[in-house]
A and B are shown apart, each in its own frame.
Chain A
Amino acid sequence: MSPAMLELIVQSPTVLFAQWDFPFLCEQECVMRLYRLPDVGALPQYGSVCLELPLPQSAGSMYFYRLTPGHHYVVEIGIRREGVFYPLRRSNVATTPRTEAATEEPERVAAVVVPLAVADWFAEGSGAAPYYPGE
């Protein structure tokens, strides 16, 4: 019996990779939120929302680009109801590594969705559809 899985993995100081597996399809449209946390133990509600986007039903993973080195992030997948976001699954906290040239410029996070092709032991990570909210 596989529970819903949601993982956040560091690729580099400015890129995170999220992968998920929801055995139960969301009846309503699911939403993904990426938060930046003030410290590694903080709850998402005390962080700032970097990005919120509809979760494509046929996708199983996503890259987040243009993040800030040396910061803590978490993602949640949930449902929006009457303007309120109810998370159904929360990922681990991922901390982007520092670089010597870290700056505090405002983030302009972009996300690239990776479609889920085959539901068996192996799926091919084929092409991705870029998703740039607000651009």
Chain B
Amino acid sequence: MARGYLALVLHAHLPYVRSRVGALEERWFFEAMTECYLPLLEAWENLAREGRAFRLTLSLSPPLLEMLADESLSRRYVVHLDNLLLLAEKEVQRTRKDPPVWRLARMYRENLERIRHAYVEEYYRNLLAPLARLQREGFLELITTAATHGYLPLMSSESVRRAQIAVGVALFRRHFGWHPPGFWLPECGYVPGVEELLKEFGLRYFVLDSHGVLNARPAPRHGVYAPVLTRCGVAALGRDPTSSRQVWDQRTGYPGDFYYREFYRDIGHDLDPDYLAPHLPEGWVRVDTGLKYYRITGPTADKAFYEPDRALERAAEHAAHFVAERQRQVRSLAKHMEVPPLVVAPYDAELFGHWWYEGPRWLELVLRRLQDQDTVALTTPGRYLDAYPHHQVVELDLCSWGEEGYNKVWLNPANDWIYRFLHRAEAAVAELADLYPFAAGRTRRLLNQAARELLLAQSSDWAFILHTGTAVQYARQRLTVHLENLKQLIGELESGARAPLEKLEAEYPFAQDIDYRVFSRFFRGNRSASRRRFRVAMFSWEYPPKTVGGLGRHVYDLSRALVRLGDDVVVLTCPAGDLPSWQVVDGVRVYRTDGSGAPEGSFLDWVAWFNGALVDLAGRVLRDHGPFDLLHAHDWLVGRACLELRARHGLPLVTTIHATEHGRNLGLHNETQWRIHQAEAELVRESDLIICCSRYMAREVTGLFAVAPDRVRVVPNGVEPQNLGVDRWLGRDRTGRMVLFMGRLVPEKGVQVLLRAFARLEGELPDLSLVVAGRGPYEDYLRQLAAELGLNARVCFTGFVDGKRRQQLYRDAGLAVFPSLYEPFGIVALEAMAAQVPVIVSDTGGLSEVVEHGATGFKVPPGDVEALSYYMAHVLSHPEVSRTLCWRAWREILTRYNWQYLAGETREVYRELLAG
């Protein structure tokens, strides 16, 4: 029985190259095939044929998978091999009279013949098949990485990271037909939150550099010698520094041994160019051929001839040393650990054979030696986690295995300039994915190719090459090409200027099945593909035309959007004048309680009566309509009824809390407010899930009612621009001299702050007027304040405004201001943005989340009169600022606040609710 385990992890990746025939960069692929992948595969096949039960984890990047499966590339590789064989034969002839070199030339010729035979005759030019077989037979555990090996920590958003992971996993599944168990983070680049994305795609583990695990909180009990779990259950495995140093260290690592082959002395640079011409790109470009005759020898330029037998002896010694070190490690660790220690040894696959010629042979010898002892057993992360699933839970932090352990390799003065372009491109593609949820035909192809070009631009290789300075021109060229291609594709989508779509699709046919919607902020990896139709009973005390605040409009828009998505929605609400007791509004069945018998007394008495009427009404609706899947309550005013119905019929209940009594009144100051607060508390406590419209509201609800945060979901309010008379970008210059406030006239809306700020602008903007549209108990005080400030001639209180008048006010306004002191969401700000009016809001509550300062509007500290007057003057005096704010805000309305998407998010809550 082994005392511990060793998990060898090889990560194989090359940048995606597939453009011009004979392009230099194709040689990277050809060299890796000849020197690394085929020799490694040969070693594994030898062991498998002998019945030696080794285990090894191999990560194959999607670009490499695509290139390995590319028919034209495989044919060109055979042509390349044949050309190399010709060169090797010429070398055998040329060196006949020089026995030490002649033996090496023959060795290379025999190696190349063997490789060509294996590739063409045994594998039929397809390496994925034998790799899949080795996995099925239990020798390999195949995993994958991000779509184009994009460096996740430096991507601009979670949705962009998700897209890289989604496409990576999809490509792996397409090539192998099964789901990868683990994921190689490119460059072991971890950023907090990425584990949640991995979990969405069913991935169980990832690998970090040592310090990534050692710096976790709490400190890992077993260092890097046992996996740690993230909160969501995905495991992190830390690299063992000792085994890493023995292979990777430039000064002391095995590959630097003086008997090993010298990488930098190649006949491609040493011999006569005329002799080499038939074997060089374009007949003259000097490149490595792989035929190298010298060994490392020492630190100077003096090199002795390579002696293969001696080199293999050293490889055997190093293999024995490596295994002995692992045995020593495991024996020492096992004494103190309650699980068998796991030594994780990850390496770049290309080290073996390409940089370190003897690497594949060393690895084979290590695998053989491990079979001949019983202290250390080989395993894979997946197998180890199957056997030992319980580990310490920790919080991880940003890290990578790059130089200095963080982001410096990919973000430094040599390459930092790429991110302004990459991040703009990422935002553009993500926005397009939101704007076009159901594209078809040429539009879909344009979007898919745009997604493809972005992924290719995101490859971490470009930033890495710029940092090392090795092929700077090539990296710049690849970035330029992909970003320029993307620009052309977006150009056709935005302005109709035709892009060379067919040419681009042919040039970079990466990820043929890509769906651009993976970039949408609403895309999730674990979304059920089920198109289940929900039967929803929705309860609201307001419903148009009876509206008091924003709640009624919210329910109206949400219910209609759910119906458009195929759900069956019934709204139960209170009476509304002469409107019928039931009607169908845009597919939504609306039932109203009977108004007779309503008490004349207090508001709370009325609410109690209303809830009783709702229960009766629901009973009749259930009889006529059939069963519901769930109940959806909106605020405490329907709480009693929903709780009773939940108890009677056993239906799950989700409640949207739009605002709280405590928040509205900045505390609880009388008996009525306390009773409402208690009703809210009971409803929140008894609901199965709660929806809040903003993160601010979610924090308020969890804090006020002591609710576990994992019971609360955030789905913002949406807005329908058509309701404001706007159906497209109008591009108007907002030169109107009218400032608009729209909302209820209550202290928390902060109109008093606006009046004071407005008064300060008289000197600077004397032609300005202010319209206060709305009604409420605070109106008298505000009118008096306006008079005291001398504003009577410039301020107009309109009272209640209907839809038509509202649209007109938005058309005429040069600026809309919402200086709330408390605002759970701020739907009116969203409406102003949808009406393409620039907005200034208080930096508080939900308003703070709706507006991005300087991008979609401006935010000022609540109650700050001076700051508010400054920004009002700034927007009104700078038309170009106003226009840009309106444009960005409009795009947000079309994407982030689109009711179709938000209804989809709500359906996800329903799905979760019903899944229990």
Binding site for B on A (CB under 8 A): 1-7, 9-13, 15, 17, 19, 21, 23-24, 41, 43, 45, 60-61, 70, 81, 84, 86-90, 95, 97-100, 114, 121-125, 128
Contacts and interface: CB of A to CB of B under 8 A. Distances in A.
B407 A12 contact: yes
Interface stretch (B227-235, B584-592, B875-883): B875-883
Nearest to A45: B861
B870 A98 contact: no
Given A9-B154, A11-B412, A97-B397, A121 B854 contact: no
A122 B586 CA distance: 51
B881 A89 contact: no
B853 interface: yes
B215 A100 contact: yes
A59 B855 CA distance: 20
Interface stretch (B25-33, B65-73, B420-428, B707-715): B420-428
A110 to B, nearest CB: 15
A114 B413 contact: yes
Contacts of A84: 866-867, 870
Interface of B: 153-154, 156, 192, 211, 214-215, 217, 397-399, 404-408, 411-421, 423-424, 476, 479-480, 483-484, 487, 695, 843, 848, 853-856, 858, 861, 866-867, 870-871, 874, 878, 880-881, 883-885, 887-888
A10 B397 contact: no
In the complex, which of the residues B192, B398, B415, B843 has the most CB atoms of chain A within 10 Å of its own CB atom? Answer: B398
A84 B843 CA distance: 17
Nearest to A128: B413
The 9 lowest CB-CB distance pairs between A and B, nearest first, are A89-B854, A97-B398, A125-B417, A12-B406, A97-B397, A90-B853, A1-B887, A3-B855, A3-B888
Nearest to A21: B420
A6 B855 CA distance: 10
10 contacts: A3-B885, A4-B855, A9-B407, A9-B411, A10-B398, A11-B406, A45-B861, A88-B874, A90-B854, A122-B476
A99 to B, nearest CB: 6
A100 B466 CA distance: 31
B480 A7 contact: no
A89 B874 CA distance: 13
B428 to A, nearest CB: 10
A124 B153 CA distance: 23
Contacts of A4: 854-855, 884
A37 to B, nearest CB: 14
A3 B415 CA distance: 23
Given A21-B420, A24-B881, A89 B476 contact: no
B884 A23 contact: yes
At the interface, is chain B mostly helix, strand, loop or mixed?
helix
A60 B875 CA distance: 24
B854 A86 contact: no
A89 B880 contact: no
Contacts of A10: 153, 398, 406-407
A97 B397 CA distance: 6
A18 to B, nearest CB: 10
A9 B843 CA distance: 23
Nearest to A101: B215
A99 B215 contact: yes
B417 A122 contact: yes
Contact of B420 (A5, A12, A99, A128): A5
In the complex, which of the residues A3, A4, A97, A100 has the most CB atoms of chain B within 10 Å of its own CB atom? Answer: A97
B215 A12 contact: no
B874 to A, nearest CB: 8
A61 B416 contact: yes
Nearest to A92: B156
A116 B423 CA distance: 17
B397 A12 contact: no
B408 A87 contact: no
A116 to B, nearest CB: 9
Contacts of B855: 3-4, 89
A87 B853 contact: yes
Nearest to A60: B420
Given A11-B408, A122-B480, A125-B414, 15 more contacts: A1-B883, A2-B424, A3-B856, A3-B884, A11-B411, A21-B420, A43-B843, A86-B867, A90-B853, A90-B854, A97-B399, A114-B413, A114-B416, A121-B484, A122-B421
A29 B915 CA distance: 57
A11 B414 contact: no
B628 to A, nearest CB: 37
A1 B495 CA distance: 13
Given A10-B407, A24-B878, A121-B484, A1 B884 contact: yes
B423 A7 contact: yes
Contacts of B411: 9, 11, 17
Given A4-B855, A98-B397, A100-B215, A125 B416 contact: yes
A95 B416 CA distance: 18
Nearest to B427: A5
Contacts of A13: 406
